[in-house]
Amino acid sequence: MQGSWLRRFGQRPSRGDVTFGELRRLTPISRSFGFDRGTPIDRHYIEQFLQANATAVQGRVLEIGGNEYTRRFGTGVTHGDVLHIEPGHGATIVGDLADGAALAPDTFDCIICTQTLQHIYLVQEAISTLHRTLKPGGVLLLTVPGISQISRFDMDRWGDYWRFTTLSARRLCEERFPPEHLSVEARGSVLAAVAFLHGLAAEELTADELQHQDDDYELVITVRAVK
């Protein structure tokens, strides 16, 4: 029994031999997701995903919450809109993604929705709105958190309800998008997850450490869906 465990998991330090160093603490190193130290680790993966799909960010584009990624990754954007639930924040459209009343159907060539669905209780309705608002052939670039701390700012304003897995993200999106038009992936590892939970920045890990993938530690889930 012990031999099969070691073959599966490899040799581990003995109990009491693990050195935690600066991580043996009851409070995180930073509560700002790494923004105050550099690039948040989840944003590192999100931006890699958007860069890989930059050719889809074209035509009329809707971004949820702001327009940073439309500006950074857009390739032939003819018109950019920003949806926010309240006025300000650069919003050109004010409304709730769950009810979708402010959004016309078949309008956008691309929708960028990063780290938003966890703040919407009616998440299935939000995905329905995203699908309805895309033009036929339009592309949704969606990211959701897997492993993450609570966002206190959002929790105190409109809520922080959900964390996802590749399985739940796929099942939710398959309710609206054909499975053959979906690509669902995850990025992360135990090191990336621990570092992210402590608020360390991507710049504090090596490129090889960030690139390492462990499917049991889904830090960020990415979805490309075509209507």
pLDDT tens digits, one per residue of 28-64: 999 999 999 999 999 999 999 999 999 999 999 999 9
The single residue listed with the structure tokens 């956008």 is 108
Q: Which pLDDT does position 8 carry in this prediction?
A: 54
Q: Residue 17: its pLDDT value, please?
A: 78
Distance CA 188, CA 166 (A): 12
Structure tokens at 76: 């032939």
Average pLDDT, the chain: 94
Alpha-carbon torsion 72, 73, 74, 75, what sign? positive
Angle at alpha carbon of residue 129, lines to 126 and 132, rounded to 5°: 155
Segment 149-184, tens digit of pLDDT? 999 999 999 999 999 999 999 999 999 999 999 999
Residue appearing with tokens 């940073």: 68
- DSSP result, 36-93: TTSSBHHHHHHHHHHHHTGGGS-EEEEEES-SHHHHHH-SSEEEEEEEESSS-TT-SE
224: helix, coil or strand?
Answer: strand
Maximum Cα interatomic distance, the chain, rounded to a whole number of Å? 62
* pLDDT digit string, tens, across residues 206-226: 999 999 999 999 999 999 999
Give backbone dihedrals phi and psi of 54, rounded to 5 degrees, phi first: -60, -30
Dihedral angle computed from the Cα positions of residues 98, 120, 164 and 18, in that order, rounded to the nearest 10 degrees:
170
Looking at residue 1, what is its pLDDT?
Answer: 46
Q: Which residue has the tokens 């897997």?
A: 146
What is the rounded average pLDDT of the residues 121-150? 98
Which pLDDT band holds residue 93 (cuts at 50, 70, 90)?
A: very high
- Tell me the pLDDT tens digit for each residue of 14-23: 887 778 888 8
Report the pLDDT value the prediction gives residue 22, as an integer from 0 to 100. Answer: 85
pLDDT score at 58: 98
Residue 10 pLDDT grade (very low, low, confident, very high; cuts 50, 70, 90)? low
Name the pLDDT band for 5 (thresholds 50, 70, 90).
very low
At 15 the pLDDT is 80
CA trace torsion 42, 44, 50, 51 (10° rounding): -170
- What is the reported pLDDT for 13? 79
b/e sequence 22-40, b meaning 16+ C-beta within 10 Å = eeeeeeebeeebbeebeeb
**Per-residue confidence (pLDDT) for residue 166, from 0 to 100:** 98
- Contact, 105 vs 132, CB < 8 A? yes
What domains are there in the chain, each with its CATH number?
Answer: 41-186+215-226 (3.40.50.150)
Going 55 to 132 to 224 to 209, the CA torsion angle's sign is: positive
pTM for the predicted model, two decimal places: 0.93
